Amino acid sequence: MRPADLPAPLPAAPHDDAYDPYDAERPLLARCGCGGDHAPQQHNGLAALRAAQQPGPATPSVQRADGSTDPEALGRRFIEASLVKALFPHEPVRRAFLRAVGRRSAMAAIASVLPAGALTSLQAMAQEKKPLEKKELKIGFIPITCASPLIMAHPLGFYRQQGLEVSLMKTAGWALIRDKIMNREYDATHFLSPMPLAISLGLGSQAMPMNVATIQNINGQAIVLANKHKNNRDPKNWKGFKFAIPFEHSIHNFLLRYYLAEHGIHPDTDVQLRVTPPAEMVANLRAGNIDGFLGPDPFNQRAVFDEVGFIHILSREIWDGHPCCAFGVPTAFIESNPNSFAALYRAVLTAAAMARQPKDRELIAKVISPAQYLNQPEGVLTQVLTGKFADGLGNVRNVPERADFDPVPWQSMAVWMLTQMKRWGYLKGEVNYKQVAEKVFLITEAKKHMKELGQPVPEGAYKKFKVLGKEFDPARPDDYLKGFAISKAA
Amino acid sequence: MNTPPTRAERLKSTLLSLLLLALLLAIWHLATLKPAALPAPAAATLTPEQIEYARLMGKDPATLAAASSGSGAVSGKSGFPTLGQMAGALRENLSRPFYDNGPNDKGLGLQLAHSLGRVALGYGIAALVAIPLGFVIGMSPLLWRALDPFIQVLKPISPLAWMPLALYTIKDSDVSGIFVIFICSIWPMLINTAFGVAGVRRDWLNVARTLEVPPLRRAFEVILPAAAPTILTGMRISMGIAWLVIVAAEMLVGGTGIGYFVWNEWNNLSLPNMIVAIGVIGVVGMGLDALFGRLQRAVTYVD
C-alpha cells in the first residue's frame, strides 16, 4: 500500500532523514534509533506514546541514515518522530495536516503541546534542518579594521561555507549605514556598537527594533594628536582643542568624553567635538583644522604613517577590552529569516575566532587590504592588527592586544553605553537599562552558536569591567551615573 | 554674431592653450619637487630600533637615499603627488578601465558607465517633465505667475540638501540618486522652455491663427521650432548641472559611479587616483556639453 522505496530525498530537505516528521511528502518511518531489528518500545520505553504505531517495512534509506548519522542525534530525532507519530497516529492525517499548515507552523504547533524538556534540543535541531530562507544577502560595512571579521569572512569563504552568497557593500558613512539598514537595502550590517541601541530607542532616527548579534572587535582605537602637540600631552591643558569623532552614537564619542571629563575638561563647553568621516580626520589633521581625534584604525596608524600625527594613547588604556563595532541585524530580519540569520551568525563567529589568533593577523591584513575592502597599504594594517607599530614619537611599541576580536555581546557593556548616552544628554528620562540591553544584545543566541561551533563559551551576561580604573557595576547604573563630576544628566 | 575664426586664428589659440598647459605642469612640477635629499644617515649608524621604526613608517632605511631621488616610489604617502606619480596613476587607471573585482572595486570605465546611466535616467525624466510643463507655462501667463514662486524657491536647493531627504522618504539609495539629478536638473529646462515659448513672435502666432491652424499643429510646427534654440540652451545648462550633481550624490550614497570612485580613493588618501578621476569627470562633462552645443547649432535659425 505505502510506497516502500522512495527514490531520493526531496530537494527541499537536504538531510536524508527517514525520521523527518515534518515532511508531508513521505511516510514517517519511526524505527529504532540504534538500528537494530527490534521494536523501538523495547529500546527506549516509549510504549505509551507509540501504542498506535505500525512499524513500516524496512527500507534501504533507513539503513543508510542509520549508518551515516551519529547515534545520539539520530536517537533524539527518533524521539521527536515518535512523538509526532503519537500525535498523528493516522498517517494520512499527519500528511494532510502538514500540507495544510506548512512545515514551520506545524513545528511550532507541535512544540506547544510536547513536553518542554525535550523541546529545546529538538527545536534547535529542527532549526538546523530547515533550508535557508534567503541565500543572497547584502551586508554593509565601513572600511576600517573594526570590520575585519565581517570582511575577511568574504575572501576566506566563511559565508559560502554556510551556503550564503554575501555581497559586502562598502558604505560612505555611519548615517548612511543607519539609513540603508532601516530602508532594508542591507540585510545585516557593521555597526558602531551603540547604534543599534540608539536606533531601537529611536534616538536620531525613527525607532526600529535592532539587534547586536556579536561585537565585531574590542580595543583597536586610539587618541591621535597633531604633531605640534608632541609636548602638550597633559589633557588638563587641552581647553579649546578641536577633536574629530566618527559619529555621535559611537564608543569613540563616549570614550573621548569620558577621558576628557576625568581630566576636568568639559567635552561640551571646553572643547569642540566634530563628527568627521575617518579618512577626513587624517586630512583635517594635516591641514591643522583639528588638534586630534579618537578614531578607528587603520586611520590612527595612517596618521602616523603619513607623518601628520602621533598616537597619544590607545583606547585600551582607557578601557581594556571595550567593545567598538558590532555586527547587527534588524529584529524583523531574524524573525523572517531565522535560518539565514543562524548561518550568518556561524560565519561571522568562525571569522571572529580566527581573528582572535595572533598568528593569523598578518594573513588577515593581507586579505582585507585590497581596494574592494579597506583600500589601505598592507603595512599599515599589519601594524594595527599585530600590535607592533610605530607610534609617531620615534618609538616602536609592541602591544599585541592593541586590537582584538572578542565576539561576546556582553549586556553589561550595553548598560554602560546607555549610562553614557544619558550622561551626555542623548537619552532623556527614565530608562530601564537592563530591559533595553537584553532586548538588543543577543548574548544567549551568541553563546548558543559559539557552543555549536565548539568555541569556548563564557559565563553570565553582565561581565564587570573598569573604565580608567573605576569599576562599573551593571546592577547599579544610576548610582554610577551620579558619581561623575562632569555630566549633563539631571 | 561673431565671425567664425580663421584657420590662422584657430591655430594660434590652440598653441596658446598648449603653452598654458605646459606652464601649468611646470608650476606643478616645481611645487611638488622634493627638497634635495638630506645626506641620509648611514644605515650603520642607526640603532636596530631606528631601523625598525623607519621600516614601519614605510621607509626602507637601506634604500632611503635612492627613494628620495624622486622616482615617486614612495607609495602610500598622501602628500601632493608629483607629475611622475600622476602619470603612473593615469596609466594604471586607463590601461584597465573595465575590470570588476566585486561590488566595491571596479575600473574607471565601469564607474563612468554607471554614472552616465544614472544621469541619463534622471535627466531624461527631468526633460520629459520639464519640456511639456514649460510649454504649458509659457503659453499661459497666469500659470507662469502662479508657479514662479515655487520654481524660484526650489531652484537654488543644493543636491546635498535633497539627498538625506530623498533617502529618508524614497528608502532606496539608487532611486534617491536619480531623484536628486531629476530635481536639480529640471529647473533650467523648465524656465528656458517657458521663456522660449512665451517669446515666440506674435506675428507668427497671428498668422497661424488667421490660417486657422489647429492648436496641436500650431504647437509643433510654429512654437516648437521657434522656441527650440532657447529650449536647447536650457537642456544644455541642465546637462551641466546633472553631471555636477552626480558626483556629489554618489559620494554620499556610495556603491558605484565616478563619485564613489573619488570617495573610495579619498578613503585611501590617494590623491593621484582622485586627481585622475577629477580630470575624467571634467573631460566627460566637456564632451556632454559639446554634444549639446552641436545640437543647439543644428536648431538655431536666423531671422
Interchain CB contact of A396 with B (< 8 Å): yes
- Phi and psi (nearest 5°) for B114? -60, -45
Q: How do beta strands A403-404 and A218-219 pair? A: antiparallel
B105 by DSSP, 3-state: which? coil
* Residue A260 CB partners (closer than 8 Å, separation 6+): A235, A238, A266, A267, A270, A271
Q: A105 to chain B nearest CA, in Å?
A: 32
Interchain CB contact of B167 with A (< 8 Å): yes
A428 by DSSP, 3-state: which? coil
Handedness of CA B51, B54, B58, B60 (dihedral sign): negative
Higher confidence at residue B281 or residue A483? B281
* Residues 31-90 (B) with a CB less than 8 A from some CB of A: 49, 52-53, 56-58, 75-79
DSSP for A155-201, please give it. Answer: TTTHHHHTT-EEEEEE-S-HHHHHHHHHTTS-SEEEEETHHHHHHHH
Higher confidence at residue B301 or residue A366? A366
Question: Is B57 in contact with A390 (Cβ distance < 8 A)?
Answer: yes
| Amino acid at residue number A247 | F
Of B49, B172, B264, the CB nearest to A396: B49
Interchain CB contact of B92 with A (< 8 Å): no
Nearest to A159 by CA among A137, A143, A181, A174: A137
Interchain CB contact of A172 with B (< 8 Å): yes
B174 contacts B166 by C-beta, under 8 angstroms: no
> No. of H helices and E strands in chain A?
21, 16
For chain B, the maximum distance between any two Cα atoms, rounded to a whole number of angstroms, is 100
Cα separation, A76 vs B60, whole angstroms: 63
Least confident of A189-203, A244-258, B33-47, B270-284: B33-47
Terminus-to-terminus CA distance in chain A, angstroms?
77
Interchain CB contact of B160 with A (< 8 Å): no
Query: What are the average pLDDT values for consecutive 10-residue runs of chain A, which has 490 residues?
Result: 40 49 66 47 44 40 42 63 74 77 69 54 51 86 90 88 86 86 89 90 85 90 90 88 90 92 89 87 87 90 89 91 91 87 89 88 87 85 89 87 89 90 87 87 86 84 86 86 79
Share of chain B above pLDDT 90, in %: 29
Find which of A170, A362, A388, A397 to mutate to test the B interface (most B CBs within 10 Å of its CB).
A170
Residues from chain A that touch B77, judged by Cβ atoms under 8 A, are: 305-306
Give the cell for residue A176: 548612511
Q: A309, exposed or middle or buried, with CB in 10 Å at 0-12, 13-18, 19+?
A: buried
Looking at residue B22, its pLDDT comes to 93
Cα separation, A159 vs B204, whole angstroms: 70
Cα separation, A346 vs A446, whole angstroms: 9
Q: What is the pLDDT of residues B76-85, one digit of tens each?
A: 455 678 888 8
Q: B96 to chain A nearest CA, in Å?
A: 15
A245 by DSSP, 3-state: which? strand
Residues from chain A that touch B102, judged by Cβ atoms under 8 A, are: 167-168, 372
Interchain CB contact of A401 with B (< 8 Å): no
Looking at residue B236, its pLDDT comes to 92
Interchain CB contact of A444 with B (< 8 Å): no
Find which of A179, A276, A383, A399 to mutate to test the B interface (most B CBs within 10 Å of its CB).
A179
* Residues 304-323 (A) with a CB less than 8 A from some CB of B: 304-307
Peptide bond into B164 cis (omega under 30): no
B293 contacts B236 by C-beta, under 8 angstroms: yes
Residues from chain B that touch A282, judged by Cβ atoms under 8 A, are: 78, 269
Higher confidence at residue B289 or residue B300? B289
Q: A156 to chain B nearest CA, in Å?
A: 15
Interchain CB contact of A279 with B (< 8 Å): yes
The answer to whether residue B65 scores a pLDDT higher than 60 is: no
Looking at residue B18, its pLDDT comes to 94
Residues from chain B that touch A373, judged by Cβ atoms under 8 A, are: 104
Question: Is A183 in contact with B58 (Cβ distance < 8 A)?
Answer: no
Q: A162 to chain B nearest CA, in Å?
A: 20
Looking at residue A286, its pLDDT comes to 87
* Residue A119 CB partners (closer than 8 Å, separation 6+): A111
Question: Is B101 in contact with A371 (Cβ distance < 8 A)?
Answer: yes
The answer to whether residue B48 scores a pLDDT higher than 90 is: no
Interchain CB contact of B158 with A (< 8 Å): no
Of B49, B78, B172, the CB nearest to A185: B172
- The mean per-residue pLDDT over the stretch B162-188 comes to 87
Question: Is B102 in contact with A168 (Cβ distance < 8 A)?
Answer: yes
Q: What is the pLDDT of residues A340-382, one digit of tens each?
A: 888 888 889 888 888 888 888 888 888 888 888 888 888 888 8
Looking at residue A49, its pLDDT comes to 40
Q: Which residue of B has its CA nearest to A176?
A: B253
DSSP for A286-352, please give it. Answer: HHTS-SEEEEETTHHHHHHHTTSEEEEEEGGGTSTT-B-EEEEEEHHHHHH-HHHHHHHHHHHHHHH
Residues from chain A that touch B260, judged by Cβ atoms under 8 A, are: 172
- The mean per-residue pLDDT over the stretch B92-99 comes to 82
Terminus-to-terminus CA distance in chain B, angstroms?
13
Q: A150 to chain B nearest CA, in Å?
A: 15
